[in-house]
Amino acid sequence: MIDRPILIAGRNGQLARCLRNLAAVRDLPAVALGRRELDLESREGIDKIIASLAPSAIINAAAYTAVDQAESEATKAFSINRDGAAALADVAWQMNIPFLHVSTDYVFDGAKPDAYDENDIPAPLNVYGASKLAGEAAVLAAHPLATVIRCSWLYSPYGSNFVRTMLRLCETQPIVRVVRDQLGNPTYAFDLAEAVLRIAERSVTDDRRATAGIYHLAGQGETSWHDFAQAIFHERSRRGARIPALEAITTEEFPTAARRPRNSRLDSSKAERVFGIRLAPWRHSLQACLDQPAGEGEIDAEGNRPGWRQRNAPLSDHARGQQAVAPDL
């Protein structure tokens, strides 16, 4: 039984929103703080707010996630993703409470032909991935019993993500061009949030040594961005809505400031062995996501959650009415 709240660092990001909504539905005490209340670039502020809350655990779902922009804002990316994460972990260690930190598949370079497991050596291709990898190391140095969770291709009805971008383009473009030579595991943020909360609860009540370390948690099944878009369009068409033509392109046909790994697939078998957790197949979760309208499930200022059912993508190339898309996360 958890009597003190779990602190969720991050409030408006898609995972943070799913975490706080799920916690509310489950009557699990939790407090989600955004940048205004919890500035990860202010150690003094971090110490003060966490001391006042006296949480039972901390989940760090806050991060600098602008992948392309990070190439020109490396200092800020490292300040938040490494230094801010380490500060949170250090406070959690000093308070002797569990710390869960969310990381990314972008710590890998994508050269491996198979799915990455936790023993594979990271080699990020871009500043964002490097800042997240540095954050993992800093977190584990500050809190040796921390749990680091890497996810892949996160999407939800909220925020900026690939699914929402595809749905928007369905309304505005006759042709959508999507990269076909990058592979990964689409991960529904609600599925990941449920798993993270289960791990957090176990960390509070059980021996933390059993949950410490790095884990991969991603949706079951693999696909390319192009085939992911195709599945989104199929589900939208099945619901009676219009869809544009879909055209496959290569990574070289869509240059971006930050290089992306060709292979982002994550092997999540360790998490299944240790926690008994296996996320749902991505195609099943995609249906659940599309059945939940954007904004449904939001908690208002009075804590109400009307009608809620439990169950990242820069754009370019407007020429000739076409739209080329590459994922942000």
Q: How far apart are CA 304 and CA 121, in angstroms?
A: 45
- Three-state secondary structure call for residue 227: helix
Q: How far apart are CA 310 and CA 198, in angstroms?
A: 15
Closest C-alpha among 40, 87, 114, 97 to residue 262 = 114
297 Cβ partners below 8 Å, 6+ apart? 17, 21, 157, 305, 307, 308, 309
Reported as half-sphere exposure (CB side, CA atoms, 13 A), residue 121 has a value of: 1
Closest C-alpha among 49, 7, 33 to residue 197 = 7
> Between β-strands 57-60 and 99-104, what pairing exists: parallel, antiparallel or unpaired?
parallel
Q: How far is CA 49 from CA 4, 60, 147, in A?
A: 15, 14, 22
Q: Which of 64, 106, 116, 128 is catalytic?
A: 128
Residue 128 known to be catalytic: yes
User: CA torsion sign, 178 to 179 to 183 to 189?
Assistant: negative
Whether 201 contacts 2, CB under 8 Å: yes
DSSP 40-65: TT-HHHHHHHHHHH--SEEEE-----
> Between β-strands 6-9 and 30-33, what pairing exists: parallel, antiparallel or unpaired?
parallel
305 Cβ partners below 8 Å, 6+ apart? 21, 24, 25, 297, 298, 299
- Three-state secondary structure call for residue 188: strand
Q: What is the largest CA-CA distance in the chain?
A: 60
Residue positions annotated with a catalytic role: 128
